[in-house]
């Protein structure tokens, strides 16, 4: 489920994979006409859409909290609030399809020029609760196209999924089990009544994950025609230019750099962008924190990204040559090693105690960052157990509307010889998402106070047995 118009998937891919999947899902457009407001229908789905619009347009934390608590428990309040402020809320432009428990619609950002297409499916109740919420941008120049699915298209999509999983999925035996399960569901007629592309993609994703428990694996639907690409096709110069603009507009995911009392540094960023684009932003942030006495890195809303950027930022925390991680790619039968870099622009932060904040939403490359530092004994992890997605993905188009993100590789940590797939990264100090920051501040203050306290004469500076 997504709630961002940027539709950034949570991934930890190699650089080429990251660009391909990002460009398949992230677009910006310029509208030349003012959007006209529409009204939601008097249905359970329509009432839910009204509640979402009211919450987003209020940009009020209490109202958004109430929506998340009563209607859509999958939502993160901080992420919704940030999204509301970023977009300025939404004007409902049109209702494209309306059933009692399913609605598709178009919205226009109040604070920008983006036009988005959404799908909302609810379970009956008082109030109804959200089963599926999907919102994505309609790219510039694209013709809106959301036709009802027929049996032939459902079959073609399933055939494309099973073919790609057989060729590329990181564990061939699991791919075979997923294919058998989905085909059995199709033969039983479980998909026959689904005519919405977004609902079909969501059903396939849930069924594939029911077998694999792989949260990176995911089927996507676009309400417009997109070019069908081959598995090894590289991004075009226009694709790369668009990606660079998107990264620049998003400040490469860096949200806050702050110096807290007692000279404790605080850094929050929500993605690991490709170093070719985002290294200068990361360097600027780290250089601002170079003379702090402790460092808190907030990954509670970080969904992952490029492992090369993980290695880049980790390198600021060591002055030794450290083996960070390996990635084994099944399709290439190759293993790529990641080590700390021998030279970094600016000063390194090698003596400061480091605290990494995590939540259930911390995913993929952000999990790798926490996992690497924990196993290298360079950071204390504070917060919730992370999401448990370790497999890098490759984005592949199946037809002009459907695509699939196929996990094609697996990490091999040099310390544990395994990864965090399905289990997540367990924090050293378990707290709620909201308590993670104050807990880390207290830990940092206690550490600094202990360091500042001179030893009592005649006593050992540390306990002995």
Helical pair 237-249 and 15-25, crossing angle rounded to 10 deg: 80
Same-domain check for residues 442 and 318: yes
In a domain, 456, yes or no: no
Last residue of a domain, one of 122, 137, 152: 137
In a domain, 411, yes or no: yes
Within 10 Å of residue 283's Cβ, how many Cβ atoms?
A: 17
φ/ψ of residue 42, rounded to 5? -85, 70
CATH number at residue 261: 3.90.226.10
Tokens of 162: 């099973």
In a domain, 241, yes or no: no
Query: Which domain covers residue 298, as residue numbers?
Result: 249-392+402-451
151-156 CB contacts, 8 Å cutoff, 24+ apart = 151/192, 153/399, 154/186, 154/191, 154/194, 154/200, 155/186, 156/398, 156/399
Please tell me whether the peptide bond between 76 and the residue prior to it is cis, using omega within 30 degrees of 0.
no
* 0.85 surpassed by pTM: no
In a domain, 38, yes or no: yes
Same-domain check for residues 278 and 410: yes
In a domain, 187, yes or no: no
Same-domain check for residues 128 and 263: no
Q: What is the pLDDT of residue 15?
A: 36
Last residue of a domain, one of 79, 107, 137: 137
State mean pLDDT over 291-319: 96
φ/ψ of residue 329, rounded to 5? -105, 120
Same-domain check for residues 304 and 432: yes
Within 10 Å of residue 76's Cβ, how many Cβ atoms?
A: 18
Q: Which of 293, 304, 305 is nearest to 266 (CA)?
A: 293
- 318-345 pLDDT, tens digit per residue, is 999 999 999 999 988 999 999 999 999 9
What's the chain's average pLDDT? Answer: 88
For residue 6, is pLDDT > 50?
no
For residue 310, is pLDDT > 50?
yes
Q: What is the pLDDT of residue 459?
A: 57
CATH number at residue 125: 3.10.450.50
For residue 238, is pLDDT > 80?
no
H or E stretch at 86? helix 77-87
In a domain, 462, yes or no: no
Instruction: Provide the number of structural domains found in the chain.
Output: 2
What percent of the chain clears pLDDT 70, i.e. is strictly above it? Answer: 88
Last residue of a domain, one of 87, 118, 137: 137
State mean pLDDT over 299-306: 94
Q: Are 409 and 328 in contact (CB under 8 A)?
A: yes
State mean pLDDT over 29-55: 77
Return the residue matching tokens 């190759």. 334
In a domain, 114, yes or no: yes
In a domain, 276, yes or no: yes
Q: What is the pLDDT of residue 36?
A: 52
φ/ψ of residue 424, rounded to 5? 80, 175
């Amino acid at each position: 489920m997504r709630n961002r118009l940027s539709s950034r998937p949570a991934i930890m891919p190699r650089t080429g994979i990251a660009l391909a999947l990002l460009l398949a899902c992230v677009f910006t457009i310029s509208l030349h006409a003012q959007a006209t407001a529409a009204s939601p229908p008097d249905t359970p789905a329509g009432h839910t859409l009204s509640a979402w619009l009211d919450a987003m347009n209020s940009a009020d934390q209490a109202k958004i909290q109430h929506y998340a608590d009563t209607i859509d428990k999958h939502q993160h309040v901080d992420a919704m609030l940030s999204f509301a402020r970023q977009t300025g809320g939404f004007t409902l432009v049109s209702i494209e399809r309306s059933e009692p428990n399913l609605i598709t619609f178009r919205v226009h950002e109040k604070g920008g020029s983006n036009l988005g297409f959404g799908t909302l499916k609810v379970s009956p109740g008082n109030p109804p609760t959200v089963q599926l919420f999907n919102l994505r941008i309609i790219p510039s120049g694209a013709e809106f196209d959301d036709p009802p699915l027929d049996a032939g298209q459902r079959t073609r999509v399933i055939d494309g999924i099973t073919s790609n999983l057989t060729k590329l999925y990181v564990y061939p035996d699991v791919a075979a089990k997923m294919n058998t399960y989905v085909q059995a569901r199709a033969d039983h007629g479980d998909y026959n009544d689904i005519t919405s592309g977004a609902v079909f993609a969501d059903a396939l994703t849930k069924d594939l994950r029911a077998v694999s428990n792989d949260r990176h694996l995911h089927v996507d639907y676009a309400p417009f025609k997109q070019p069908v690409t081959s598995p090894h096709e590289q991004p075009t110069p226009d694709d790369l230019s668009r990606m660079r603009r998107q990264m620049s507009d998003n400040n490469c995911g860096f949200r806050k750099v702050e110096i807290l009392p007692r000279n404790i540094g605080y850094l929050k960023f929500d993605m690991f962008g490709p170093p070719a684009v985002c290294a200068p932003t990361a360097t600027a942030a780290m250089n601002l924190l170079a003379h702090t006495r402790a460092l808190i890195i907030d990954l509670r809303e970080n969904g992952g990204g490029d492992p090369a950027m993980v290695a880049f930022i980790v390198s600021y925390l060591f002055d030794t040559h450290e083996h960070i991680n390996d990635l084994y790619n099944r399709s290439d039968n190759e293993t790529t090693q990641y080590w700390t870099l021998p030279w970094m622009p600016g000063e390194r932060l090698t003596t400061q105690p480091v605290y990494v904040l995590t939540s259930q939403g911390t995913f993929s490359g952000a999990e790798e960052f926490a996992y690497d530092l924990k196993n290298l004994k360079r950071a204390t992890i504070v917060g919730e157990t992370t999401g448990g997605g370790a497999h890098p993905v490759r984005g592949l188009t199946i037809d002009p509307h459907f695509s699939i993100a196929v996990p094609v590789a697996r990490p091999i940590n040099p310390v544990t010889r395994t990864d965090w797939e399905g289990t997540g990264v367990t924090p050293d100090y378990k707290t709620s998402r909201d308590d993670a920051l104050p807990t880390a501040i207290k830990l940092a203050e206690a550490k600094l106070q202990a360091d500042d306290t001179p030893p009592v004469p005649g006593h050992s500076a540390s306990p002995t047995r």
